[in-house]
Amino acid sequence: MTEGVGQKLNNNELMEENKNTEMNKTPGRISRRTLLGGALAAAIIPVSSSFAKYIQAGVPVGPISDPTKTVGPGPSVLGKRSPFEHPVRKPSDLSSRTPLQDLYSTITPSDLHFERHHAGVATIDPGKYELLIHGMVSRPMKFTLADLKKFPSFTRICFLECAGNFRTGKEEMTPQDVLGLTSQSEWTGVMLSTLLREVGVSEKASWLLAEGSDASLMTRSIPRKGWDEAIIAYGQNGEALRPEQGYPARLLLPGWEGNTNVKWIRRIEISDQPFMTREETSRYTYPVKDKIRMFSFEMDARSIITYPSFPQKVDRGWIEIRGIAWTGRGKIVKVEVSTDAGKTWSSAKLQEPVLDKAHTLFRYLWQWNGENTEILSRAIDETGYIQPTLRQLVDARGTDLGGYHLNPVTSWQIRTDGSVLFKPENWK
């Protein structure tokens, strides 16, 4: 699947190559593949538009001429990735997953941010956008997008993770397959508290309802403990939000399960009780022994090794094990790595600065002797919580775990031939 997408991108690059060749009037051999690509481009894209010449032309992917002897394309209005890099999300009907194994650090490029929406991506005219705040307030108010941007702004980096972020079941799984429903951005917006101050929230208020303006009119009840850090975000990684992340404005609750971070937000109703919406009762809840647990807001500490991972291959010798760890309950204070299938654990090096409720990069230098083994990581957060094993979670919650708030330690098997395979675990 990933390969298929990669091939598609290659075709696009071939089209760009052809454009590039035309524009620069570079003489030289044009391969048959390039010609085919060119024919495709001519059939699909009107290349002659005046705008097209300002779109950055890609570097040719075919046979590459000596870059010290070839003048490259000039400045452009919009940059793009190297044609040699093809990080892509992995979509299903309901979501798409971030390629964690392709990222070098903790910020997720906006176009690779995971998606989960309940009725597709809403298209909202920013000129018509309004946010209504009403209910237990002294003055119900509406704010345009321009209004929101006038208020004192606030920027922070934090992760955003779907409550259902964990897949297992087979060895041929990448970090993207296992935990791709987490991403990290630098978010900018107005603090919710700033807006609540403006409308005058009643002392008796204890919950609010956040409602999106997509076709699902998604709603979640948010208790007061979540209001202090909440942001009505309109910026993501320095630019406007991506449509998939709630353009033009969304609720952002750092460290809280993704679903509560209502996208395309249009209404906030201040109340003194939860509304018991579908997404907080029959969804985003999970069996714990003979009960069903609801209102699990903070994401529990977890980690994953992103290198080495399937389908990479490693060589005997020095390997820098790399990965990310995060917690919805503050900061990661420690990540431990085991290279002997969990028998012994050592502290990994954390990349500073370690941010609150943020993906934290860890590294651990390891000399592999070429034998079969398993490598694992476990996160420890500032509350003293240690990322549990699947066995510990099953013991605590029973076998009918459901799919939400499952944060077990995961393991990669290293085989003597250097291949790396995910270790699926069964709990039923």
Partner 1 sequence: MKKKIRGRSIRFIMVIAYGLIAVMLMASHGNGAVKHQQWKGQDTTKWPATFGFGRTATAQEISLWDIAIRPDGKGLPSGEGDAARGKVLYALKCAACHGENGRETPGFKLPAPALVSDTLFKSKPKTIGNYWPYATTLFDYMRRTMPYNLPGSLTNNEVYSLTAFLLGSNQIIKPDFILNAQTLPRVIMPAKKLFVVDDRRGGAEVK
Q: Is 150 left (phi over 0), alpha (psi -120 to 50) or beta?
A: alpha
What does the DSSP assignment read for 318-383?
EEEEEEEEE-TTS-EEEEEEESSTTSS-EEPEEPSSPPTTS-EEEEEEEEE-SS-EEEEEEEEETT
Residues between 279 and 298 with contacts to partner 1, criterion CB under 8 A:
281-282, 285, 287-288, 290-298
Block residue for tokens 């039923």: 428
Whose Cβ is closer to partner 1: residue 12's or residue 296's? Answer: 296
Q: Do the beta carbons of residue 407 and residue 387 sit within 8 Å?
A: yes
The CB-of-90 to partner 1 minimum distance in angstroms stands at: 20
Between 232 and 314, whose beta carbon lies closer to partner 1? Answer: 232
- Residue 392 in contact with partner 1, rule: CB under 8 A: yes
| Closest-CA residue to 163 (of 70, 66, 234, 260) | 260
Q: How far is the CB of 244 from partner 1 (least distance, A)?
A: 18
Looking at the DSSP bridge assignments, the partners of residue 187 are: 156, 236
* Least spacing, CB of residue 249 vs partner 1, in Å: 13
DSSP letters along 163-220, please?
A: TT----S-SS--HHHHH-SEEEEEEEEEEHHHHHHHHTB-TT--EEEEEE-STT--EE
The tokens for 85 are 């890099």
Q: What are phi and psi of 341, to 5 degrees?
A: 65, 30
Which of residues 193, 206, 312, 419 is near partner 1 by CB under 8 A? Answer: 193
Q: Which stretch binds partner 1 (CB under 8 A): 48-56, 99-107, 161-169, 212-220?
A: 212-220
> Quick check: 94 binds partner 1 (CB under 8 A)?
no
Residue 356 engages partner 1 in binding (rule: CB under 8 A) = yes
Q: Which of residues 314-343 bind partner 1 (CB under 8 A)?
A: 329-331, 333
22/400 with CB nearer partner 1: 400
373-381 and 332-338 beta bridge pairing: antiparallel
Give me the least distance between CB of 1 and partner 1, in Å please: 20
**The two structure tokens encoding residue 269:** 């109703």
241-280 residues near partner 1, rule: CB under 8 A: 254, 266-267, 269, 271, 273, 275-278
Shortest Å distance, C-beta 117 to partner 1 = 12
CB of 242 to partner 1, least distance (A): 22
Q: How far is the CB of 237 from partner 1 (least distance, A)?
A: 19
Nearer to partner 1, 192 or 414 (CB): 192
Residue number with CB closer to partner 1 (310 or 362)? 362
Report the phi/psi class of residue 219: left, alpha or beta, with left for phi > 0 and alpha for psi in -120 to 50.
beta
Nearer to partner 1, 120 or 169 (CB): 120
Q: By the 8 A CB rule, do 131 and 123 touch?
A: no
Among 384, 417, 426, 428, binds partner 1 (CB under 8 A): 384
Q: Is 396 in the site for partner 1 (CB under 8 A)?
A: yes
185 lies in the binding site for partner 1 (CB under 8 A): no
Cα separation, 341 vs 425, whole angstroms = 14
* Piece of 28-36, 165-173, 177-185, 387-395 that binds partner 1 (CB under 8 A): 387-395
Q: Which amino acid is at 50?
A: S
**Position of tokens 């018509």?**
128
Query: Please, which residue, 33 or 329, has the CB nearer to partner 1?
Result: 329
Which residue number, 8 or 278, has a Cβ lying nearer to partner 1? 278
Total number of residues that touch partner 1 (CB under 8 A) = 75
* Interactions with partner 1, residue window 116-155 (CB under 8 A): 118-119, 132-134, 139-144, 147-148, 150-152, 154
